[in-house]
Amino acid sequence: MDTRASSITNPYNGPLEGDNAFAQITHNVTRIMQAPRPPLAWYIAFAFALSLLGVFGLSLGFVVWEGIGAWGHVHPVAWGFPIVNFVFWVGIGHAGTLISAVLFLFRQNWRTAINRFAEAMTIFAVVCAAVFPGVHIGRPWLPYWMFPIPNQMQMWPQFRSPLEWDVFAVGTYATVSILFWYMGMIPDFATFRDRSTGTVRRFVYGLVAMGWRGSSRQWHRYERAYLLLAGLATPLVLSVHSVVSFDFATSQLPGWHTTIFPPYFVAGAIFGGFAMVVVLAVPAREFFGLKRIITIKHLELMAKVILATGMIVGYAYAMEMFVAWYSGAMYEQFAFLNRAFGNYAWAYWTMIFCNVVSPQVFWFKKMRTNVWVILIVGIIVNVGMWFERFVIICTSLTRDFLPANWGAFIPSPVDYATLAGSFGLFFTLFLLFCRYLPMVAMAEVKAFIPESHVHDH
């Protein structure tokens, strides 16, 4: 049977393989939570993530104490790693919503196996991203001044600033993503509640399950709400990174001032987000025995998305260069020439290799179905996407209009610690999620396994 074709065209013959009966699925997902202790690998990973999180806390504490001079920012490179990390994490956060909302609306049912933790990944990535705008500012105790909080002094944010738009775009995105994620988990929380043994667990899962009994009416409401939220979240996939790209596109800086940025950023975000899903899915299915739920076919489909979005990103890179050349604007031309051949050419070519060259292996089915290749390319693409933001943000700033201002950006050790630490936060949250929350949307998966549609045959 050609499952590859049917997985996309025929929702009733989903990509789930074998004889996973409903109970089997429930068992597979809930046993992680039910187990008295997770696998050793989880402990090792958690210890590692927790220590990275410690590094994050210490480095941010140091920055708040010392001033952001502890980072490598200089004149003229006023935005460095924190903003690079912010854009990187916001980008990662795209795949979740795309998988849950857009693919849902397009009835891509293969998404059910991965949507839950893609959504979780989105939330955690947005959490990581949200840390940075707050601490990167010179006076990190005052980020709330960017919120329109009524006050007796009538001091309001300045709504012409793209940073202000960011506040709303990211804020909305985070809110909707969390709602969507949480709502999707309610039926599964109920399963967890029912299968929990400890009092605390039963109470907590019971609380978050919000009295889910699985009645038809509840299911009806649930489906409606899910559809509505999916509809609401879909434009956000496009809007949030478009708005983030406005930070750059609306400015005057050569290398930032580019109209292609919104679609380019969105494509890049989906590209990076899917790569991150792959990076998380491969070990997760390995360690938690979910190979039969998240199958190689899922990974293959994601590899295709990575290939496609990678090509879009590559096109955007080429188009930037072309437009710079075609514009005849001296400063613009220089910015791109400098990007490719200047002091930071190594970063540019790293980006090109990671984002444009490496996904090309996915043209081959053999590569698309090899978990190791998928994992490695996923990691490479994530590195590349981080470098993309570094190239755009930092190298454009190093050389702008007046040559007397040209400078160089050399990250400080605190920069690296913050970057590594943000992964600590991400992985800590993710590992906790794996252990305590339904990693796979059981209810949704069950709806699409062949057994659900036995009467149609």
Partner 1 sequence: MNSNSQKPKYWRSLAELEADPEFNEYVQREFREPTEQVPLDAPGRRRFMQLMGASFALSGCHWREEKVLPHTTRPTGQVPGVPNSYATVMDVAGVATSLLVTSFDGRPIKIEGNPKDTTTGGGTGTFHQAAILGLYDPDRSTKVMDGDTPSTWEAFDAALLAAYQDHLKSGGAGLAVLSGSHSSPTLARLKKTLLEAQPAAAWYAYDPSFSSGRERGAELAFARPLVPLYSPSRANVIVSFDSDILSGSEPGGLGYSREVASRRDPDVEGMSRLYAFEALVTEIGSLSDHRVAVQSSRIAALLVYLEAKVAAVVGRNPSGAAPSVEALGGEKVQKVLDVAISDLLANRGKSLVTIGSAHSADAHALVHRINFLLGNVGNTVSFVEKAPQIAGGVDELARLAGEIESGKVSTLIILGGNPVYDAPADIPFEAALAKVARSFHVGLYRDETGKKCKFHAPEAHFLEAWGDARAIDGSVRVAQPLIDPLLGGRPHIEVLARFLGLPETSSLALVRKTSGLNGDKAWSQAVHSASYGPKAVAQDLGLPELTLAVAEPPELEVLFELDPAVFDGRFANNGWLQELPHPLSKQAWGNAALVAPETGKKLGLADGHLCEVTVEGRSLSIPTILSPGQAEGTLAIALGYGRTVAGVVGGFMSGMEEVEVVGSNAYSVRPSKALRIASGTVRKTGGRQILAITQDLWAIDAIGKTGQKDREDELVRETTLAEYKSEPEIIQHKVHHPPLLSLWQSPVSYEGHKWGMAVDLNKCSGCSACIVACQSENNIAVVGKSEVAKGREMTWLRIERYYKGDEKKASVRQQPVMCQQCENAPCEQVCPVGATMHSQEGLNDMVYNRCIGTRYCSNNCPYKVRRFNYRNYNLETIGITPYTPTEDRGAKLKAMAFNPEVTVRSRGVMEKCTFCVQRIQNVKIVAKNNHRPIKDGEIQTACEQACASGAITFGDLNDPNSRVRAAQKVPRAYELLQELNNRPRVNYLARISNPHPELSEDDGHKSEQHH
Q: Does 408 bind partner 1 (CB under 8 A)?
A: yes
* DSSP code at position 141: T
Closest CA to 451 of 32, 105, 3, 24: 24
Q: Does 323 bind partner 1 (CB under 8 A)?
A: no
Tell me the C-alpha distance between 183 and 186, whole Å. 5
Query: Rounded to the nearest 5 degrees, what angle is found at the Cα of 100, between the Cα atoms of 95 and 104?
Result: 125
Residue of 78, 296, 308, 321 that binds partner 1 (CB under 8 A): 78
Q: Give the nearest distance from C-beta 339 to partner 1 in angstroms.
A: 10
Tell me the C-alpha distance between 43 and 55, whole Å. 18
Tell me the C-alpha distance between 414 and 61, whole Å. 11
Tell me the C-alpha distance between 284 and 117, whole Å. 10
Residue of 37, 75, 107, 217 that binds partner 1 (CB under 8 A): 75
Task: Identify which range of 24-32, 130-138, 183-191, 197-205 contacts partner 1 by CB under 8 A.
Answer: 130-138
Radius of gyration of the chain (CA): 23
Q: Give the nearest distance from C-beta 271 to partner 1 in angstroms.
A: 25
Q: In Å, what is the CA distance from 116 to each residue of 135, 179, 212, 353, 425?
A: 30, 13, 18, 31, 19
Q: Does 455 bind partner 1 (CB under 8 A)?
A: no
Q: Does 9 bind partner 1 (CB under 8 A)?
A: no
Q: Does 143 bind partner 1 (CB under 8 A)?
A: yes
Q: Does 389 bind partner 1 (CB under 8 A)?
A: no
Q: Does 67 bind partner 1 (CB under 8 A)?
A: yes
**Which structure tokens are listed for 281?**
């899915």
Q: Does 145 bind partner 1 (CB under 8 A)?
A: yes
Q: How many CB atoms lie within 10 A of CB 31?
A: 12
Range 332-351, binding partner 1 (CB under 8 A): 334, 337-338, 341-343
Q: Does 69 bind partner 1 (CB under 8 A)?
A: yes
Task: Please measure the distance between the N-terminal and C-terminal CA atoms of the chain and give it in whole angstroms.
Answer: 16
Would you give the binding string for partner 1 spanning residues 265-304, x where CB under 8 A is met? Answer: ----------------------------------------
Would you give the binding string for partner 1 spanning residues 45-64, x where CB under 8 A is met? Answer: --------------------
Answer whether 336's CB lies under 8 Å from 288's CB: no
Helix axes 115-136, 413-436, angle to 10 degrees: 150
Q: Give the nearest distance from C-beta 402 to partner 1 in angstroms.
A: 6
Tell me the C-alpha distance between 313 and 307, whole Å. 10
Q: Does 150 bind partner 1 (CB under 8 A)?
A: no
Q: Give the nearest distance from C-beta 82 to partner 1 in angstroms.
A: 10
Task: Identify which range of 47-55, 205-213, 397-405, 433-441 contacts partner 1 by CB under 8 A.
Answer: 397-405
Closer to partner 1 by Cβ: residue 227 or 410: 410
Strand, coil or helix: 401: coil
Tell me the C-alpha distance between 182 and 345, whole Å. 43
Q: Does 73 bind partner 1 (CB under 8 A)?
A: yes
Closer to partner 1 by Cβ: residue 256 or 386: 256
Q: Which residue has the tokens 């791109």?
A: 336
Tell me the C-alpha distance between 129 and 83, whole Å. 9
The residue type of 63 is V
Task: Identify which range of 34-42, 66-74, 115-123, 318-326 contacts partner 1 by CB under 8 A.
Answer: 66-74
Tell me the C-alpha distance between 187 and 447, whole Å. 13
Would you give the binding string for partner 1 spanning residues 240-269, x where CB under 8 A is met? Answer: -------x--xxxx--x-------------
Number of residues that bind partner 1 (CB under 8 A): 56
Residue of 151, 404, 456, 457 that binds partner 1 (CB under 8 A): 404
**Which structure tokens are listed for 371?**
């978990």
Q: Does 146 bind partner 1 (CB under 8 A)?
A: yes
Tell me the C-alpha distance between 284 and 105, whole Å. 26
Catalog residues that contact partner 1 under the rule CB under 8 A.
Answer: 66-69, 72-76, 78-79, 136-140, 142-143, 145-146, 155-158, 160-164, 167, 247, 250-253, 256, 330-331, 334, 337-338, 341-343, 397, 399-408, 410
